[in-house]
Amino acid sequence: MKKASVSLAVFGALIALGAQVAHAAPDWSKVPKRDVQVFHPGVTPIEWVLKKSDHSGRTGLAKGETCVGCHEEKGGLNFDMKRLASKDLEPVGAPKTMNFPVSVQAAYDASNLYVRLTFAAPAGGADHSDKDSEVKAAMMFADDKVSVDASGKPVSGAQVGCWATCHSDARTMPGADDKKTKYSKAGAYELIQWKSAKGAKAVDGSVTDKRNMDGGSAGVQATGENKGGTYTVTFTRKLSGSVAAGKAVPVGFAIHADKAGGRFHHVSLGYTLGLGVDGDIKAVKQ
C-alpha cells in the first residue's frame, strides 16, 4: 500500500507539473512590443462617430476604412485633443493627461493566448467613482457579426473597435439612463478585465444586448503589478471561437486610471490581433 501511495503521489506531481508547463507564461523578452495610444474619448458615442456633421470620418468608414487607418500616425494620434477636452465633448471635465502609450505584447501556444500590457497610469482624472480599484485594464474582442449602420452602409467592429458598444443612451452619457450599460445591436464582444482592487477576480464577460461582467467561457486569468508607477498586466485566455491560431480578431484596449469609473477611461482605437497571420498587433507563437 505504501508503494502504491508513493506511485500515485509521483504520478499526481507529474500531472501537476505538466499542467504548469502547458500554462507557462511566454518568454516576454522574445516578444516584440507594439505601442498603442489610449485617449480620453469624452462623450463621443457611435452615434457621434457616424454623424457626418460631427465626424467627417464617417464617409471613410462607409467606404470600408478603419479608424486607426485614418487617425494613427507614426505611433501617435492625429486627434485634436483640445476639442476632445472641450466642454462640448467632455462636459464633466477632461483629465489632465488626455492620451498616453500602452505597450502591447502578444504570444500564443497550442492552448492559450497571452497578452501583456505595460503602462504608466496618469493621475489628474475628473472622476474618482471607483473607490476599490486605483486602476483597471481591459480588452475587448469583436466577433465577425458586429455591425453598425452608417446611412445604409454596414460598418464592422473591425473598423470601429469598441465604439459599436458605446451608445448615447448608455449610463454616464449626458441625460442617459443610469441603468443602461454598453450594448451591441448586432454581434458580440468578449470583455476581459483586470482590477487592481485587492482580491478582485478577473472579468470574463461579454457585451451583447447589455454588458455582462461574468458568464464567459474563455477561462480568463489576469495578473497585475505596479512597480514605481508602471503597471504590468498580463492576460491569459484559452484559444477558442474567434480567438484562435490562424485568425485575426478585432481588439480594443481600455485603461481606467486614478479610480475612474464608467466612461471616464482612456481607450484605444480598434486594432486587429493576428495569431499566426497578419495584424496590427502580431502574436508570436511559442
Beta bridge mates, 281: 273
Signed CA dihedral, 220, 40, 88, 158: sign only: negative
CB 123 within 8 A of CB 134: no
CB 189 within 8 A of CB 207: yes
**21: confidence class by pLDDT, cuts 50, 70, 90:** very low
Residue 27: which residues within 8 A CB-CB, separation 6 or more?
286
Q: Identify the three-state secondary structure at position 9.
A: helix
Q: Identify the three-state secondary structure at position 58.
A: helix
Residue 189: which residues within 8 A CB-CB, separation 6 or more?
140, 141, 142, 143, 146, 157, 162, 164, 165, 206, 207, 208
pLDDT at 36 over 90: yes
pLDDT at 16 over 80: no
pTM attached to this predicted model: 0.91
- Quick: pLDDT tens for 131-151: 999 999 999 999 999 999 987
Share of the chain above pLDDT 90, in %: 89
Pairing of strands 112-120, 136-142: unpaired
pLDDT at 9 over 60: no
CB 112 within 8 A of CB 12: no
Domain 34-285 has CATH 2.60.40.1190: yes
Looking up cell 493576428 gives 274
- For the chain, the average pLDDT equals 92
62: nearest Cα among 146, 148, 142, 144? 148
Domain ranges of the chain: 34-285
Q: CA–CA separation, 7 vs 3, rounded Å?
A: 6
- Quick: pLDDT tens for 75-133: 899 999 999 999 999 999 999 999 999 999 999 999 999 999 999 999 999 999 999 99
Q: How far is CA 95 from CA 5, 111, 253, in A?
A: 61, 39, 18
